[in-house]
Chain A
Amino acid sequence: MILLRLAIKSLRSRALATTLTIFSIGLSVTLMVGVDRLRGAAQEGFSGTISRTDLIVGARGGGLPLLLSSVFHIGNASNNISWESYQHFAHHPAVAWTIPISMGDSHHGYRVIATDDNFYKHYIYRRDHSLHFAEGHAPEGLFEVALGADVATRLGYQLGQQVVLAHGIEERSVLNHANTPFTIVGILDQTATPVDRALYITLLGEEAMHYGWSDGTPPAIGETVPQLDPSRLKVDQITAFLLGAKSRVSTLYLQREINTDKAEPLTAIIPAYTLQELWSLLDYADTALSLVSAAVLVVGLLAMLIALYATLNERRREIAILRAVGLHVRQIFILFLFESTLVAAAGTLLGIAAVYVLLFALRGTIENHFGLPVALVGLSKRVELYAAATIVSAAVLGSIPAARAYRNSLVDGLNAQ
């Protein structure tokens, strides 16, 4: 199509202005699409981490901190819940399964989670994936530990190695459980969720590690530590538990029953609802970033408009020549419209391509640091919408100089100087 060829050649002859405009539009599209993709990845990452868990139960407190600490290892649970309460609800007729979680120790910044076999049996992530061991098996003995995939690869651990766990969850813990080393008996498959970044021991193992401690402080120097007698170990408290109800219907009823439990003040949350709270928090950041990228887009489009408008006068002669060789006024309009639309389309493509190149390049980093699975497949509906909106607004804005050129050519006839 000759008009398209003319538009491309005309743009190429103004290479600098064209390139700058394409870049500024590309930049804003990169921002918009990047924010959108990251948000999508974050949502997918968070909601994919906890599938099919109907309730999360912890000590009385905020729902969001409970969700973040128990599943995403972000922040700290304020209080524990008693083993009796856990047992009560674990054997509740409406409950299908429960996964106890007890936290409080760490290893090189990775959390140590004490749990039982239910975790390996019932924990479901990303809709329908269950946990599998890449090597070895779940910890059974008191001083056995299984590793999340990232922990194993980052620290270069192998089966059979012994590790010393640290008391507390701070990255630089000063108290090491040096006299109770754990043996690595299993390494989990990669899940691209926070599961990969934790170590797993048995509930009794955690008790054994703290044998002789009182209220979170180790025995003082010189104090006699009683000989560890495994048969006398018992679990007193856990941090939280995940719960699967026998039927969806009973979830709400169970939640109410737990929240109003007379024996102990507890909080039960429905993960999906609490995640909604998180999204609405993220929405502020998201909206702010979207506004910034929209502003960049407006600047880019205005720059394009100005560039096109500025050339209008010097192009009157060109338009008269095109009219003389038989171009219709309509085609003059289309020629100018093509120029703005082509620039916007090129900028949009560049912007989207940049996002995917960046995501591809940073995928490993994002997954390792945030545990977010970054989906690279296809364009989301919203990305398509952004692309369409950018091109359409470029076309709408471009129709201003185009209409001007159209009018000029009607008024000038062949008399443009």
Chain B
Amino acid sequence: MQEVAAIHLEHVRFGYRADRPILSIDHLRIPAGRRVFLHGPSGSGKTTLLSLISGVLVPQRGSIHVLGQDLMRLSASSRDTLRGSQIGYIFQGFNLIPYLTVAENIALPCELHRTRRARITSSTLSEEVVRLALRLDIHAHLGETVTRLSTGQQQRVAIARAIIGSPALVIADEPTSSLDTDRRDAFLDLLNEVTMEGNTRNPSPTTLLFVSHDRSLASHFDETLSLPQIAQTVPQAEREA
């Protein structure tokens, strides 16, 4: 029997403008519980692909299944709900809402989604925030505004927000590009550890999709994909059309 797919794309075609396709993926399948590294040069469409997988953007053609749900059959707000409750997202660079404190930033997904909140292991949301903050060594800053934090601290707050309430899928879009090598390795180890830490409330194993243009990070992951390889280049003629 085939493993359950966390992400499954078939014949996906997308362009920010319908007449200018920039991404075309015939087949992409990521089994649940994997830690996958996806690399591709700058401008190859990595962030675009992640927006499609998170259901923020919709392809012009093809089908996308995420965590067993057919995104094409979901309404826009159901996709938003799926993303909020089941996907943790870490951006490159600045990741946090500037007018919220560290603790409020971490708690945000659980404030917005009851199902996600229901999966926390501590008895209250603030206890859960403290637990994660201790784990990620940012507990001293919980009450502070996020702009006071160093980049490394901000990225750890972003991890905490991505993994709170144990989402089934954690997506990281070049989160390490602003960190030096030592901090980058520490960050990757931490991210790997915390996403894989067993969670009794969410029986399905967490899938990690990590995106970067930096191939050297591949060794930290189970599996490596190359975007240029899985994405057929859209024929020049078709692009112009």
Q: Which residues of B contact A278 (CB under 8 A)?
A: none
Report whether A328 and B77 are in contact in the complex, using a CB–CB cutoff of 8 Å.
Answer: yes
Q: Do residues A2 and B51 form an inter-chain contact, with CB atoms below 8 A? A: no
- CB of A2 within 8 A of CB of B112, answer yes
Q: Determine if B81 is an interface residue (Cβ-Cβ < 8 Å).
A: yes
Q: Is A363 an interface residue (CB 8 A)?
A: no
Chain A positions 254-304 with a Cβ under 8 Å from a chain B Cβ:
none
Q: Bound state CA distance, A411 and B56, in angstroms?
A: 10
Contact of B98 with A by CB under 8 A = yes
Question: Which residues of A have CB within 8 Å of B57?
Answer: 413
B161 near A325: Cβ-Cβ < 8 Å: yes
**Contacting residue for B54 out of A2, A318, A414, CB 8 A:** A414
Q: Is A10 part of the contact surface with B, judged by Cβ < 8 Å?
A: yes
Bound CA–CA A325/B116 (angstroms): 11
- Known contacts: A413-B56, A414-B47, A415-B51. The answer to whether A321 contacts B77 by CB under 8 A is no
- Report A356-384 CB contacts with B as 1/0, cut-off 8 Å: 00000000000000000000000000000
Question: Are the C-beta atoms of A415 and B161 separated by less than 8 Å?
Answer: no
Whether A132 is near chain B, meaning CB under 8 Å from some CB there, is no
Prevailing SS type, chain A contact patch = helix
CB within 8 A of B113: which of A317, A321, A326, A411?
Answer: A326
Q: Are A327 and B51 in contact (CB under 8 A)?
A: no
Contacting pair A321 B91 (CB below 8 A): yes
Which residues of the partner chain A approach B99 to less than 8 Å between Cβ atoms? 9-10, 12-13
Render B91-108 as a binary contact track against A, CB cut-off 8 A, 1 for contact. Answer: 101111111100010001
Closest-CB distance, A384 to chain B (whole angstroms): 33
A326 to B84, CA, bound (A): 4
Q: How far is the CB of B218 from chain A (nearest CB, A)?
A: 23
Contact mask A1-22 → B, CB, 8 Å, 1/0?
0100010011011000000000
Q: For A325, give its contact among B47, B77, B108 (CB under 8 Å).
A: B108
| In the complex, chain B residues 39-92 whose Cβ is within 8 Å of any chain A Cβ | 47-48, 50-51, 54, 56-57, 76-77, 80-81, 83-85, 87, 89, 91
Please state if A327 and B112 are interface contacts (CB–CB under 8 Å). yes
Chain A residues within 8 Å of B, Cβ to Cβ: 2, 6, 9-10, 12-13, 317-318, 320-330, 411, 413-415, 417
A-B contact pairs, 19 of them (CB 8 A): A9-B104, A12-B99, A320-B91, A321-B97, A323-B56, A323-B80, A324-B87, A324-B89, A324-B91, A325-B108, A326-B81, A327-B84, A327-B112, A328-B76, A329-B80, A330-B77, A413-B48, A414-B56, A417-B93
